A and B are shown apart, each in its own frame.
Chain A
Amino acid sequence: MLSPAKTPAGIRAEPLVSLENVGVLRNGRWLVRGIDFSVSRGEIVTLIGPNGSGKSTSAKAAIGVLKPDEGRVERKPGLKVGYVPQKLSIDWTLPLSVRRLMTLTGPLPERDIAAALDAAGMAHMLDAEVQHLSGGEFQRALMARAIARKPDLLVLDEPVQGVDFAGEIALYDLIKSIRNATGCGILLISHDLHVVMAETDTVICLNGHVCCRGTPESVSRSPEYVRLFGSRAAQTLAVYSHHHDHTHLPDGRVQHADGTVTGHCFPDDGHHGHDHSHDHDHAGHDHSHDHGHAEHDPGHDHPHPHVHAEGERHA
Chain B
Amino acid sequence: MLDDFFVRAILAGVGLALTTGPLGCFIIWRRMAYFGDTIAHSALLGVALSLLFELNLTLAVFAVAAFVSILLLFLQKRQALSADALLGILSHATLAIGLVMVAFMSWVRIDLIAFLFGDILAVSTTDIALIWGGGLFVLAAIAWLWRPLLAATVNAELAEAEGLKPERARLFFMLLMAVVIAIAMKIVGIMLITSLLIIPAAAARRFSPTPEIMAVLASLIGAVAVVGGLFGSLTYDTPSGPSIVVAALILFMLSLLPVRRHRAITQGQGS
Contact = CB atoms under 8 A, between A and B. Distances in A.
B267 A100 contact: no
Interface string B190-218: 00000000000110010011110110000
Contacts, number: 80
A95 B270 contact: no
Contacts of B170: none
A64 B270 contact: no
Given A91-B29, A155-B161, A127 B151 contact: no
A72 interface: no
Interface in A21-76: 27, 60, 63-65
B162 A94 contact: no
B163 A105 contact: yes
Nearest to B148: A105
Contacts of A81: 161-163
B271 interface: yes
Interface stretch (A82-90, A215-223, A254-262, A294-302): A82-90
A96 interface: yes
Nearest to B210: A100
A293 to B, nearest CB: 30
- Tell me the interface secondary structure of chain B in the complex: helix
A88 to B, nearest CB: 5
Given A94-B154, A95-B211, A83 B162 contact: yes
A271 B154 CA distance: 44
Given A88-B154, A94-B154, A104-B151, A124 B161 contact: no
28 contacts: A65-B161, A81-B162, A81-B163, A82-B162, A83-B157, A85-B155, A88-B154, A88-B155, A88-B158, A91-B29, A91-B31, A93-B28, A93-B29, A93-B205, A94-B29, A94-B153, A95-B205, A95-B209, A96-B210, A96-B211, A97-B209, A101-B154, A105-B151, A106-B147, A106-B163, A124-B270, A129-B267, A155-B161
Interface of A: 27, 60, 63-65, 80-83, 85, 88, 90-91, 93-97, 100-101, 104-106, 124-125, 127-129, 132, 149, 155
5 A-B pairs with the lowest CB-CB distances in the bound complex, closest first: A83-B161, A105-B162, A94-B29, A63-B161, A95-B208
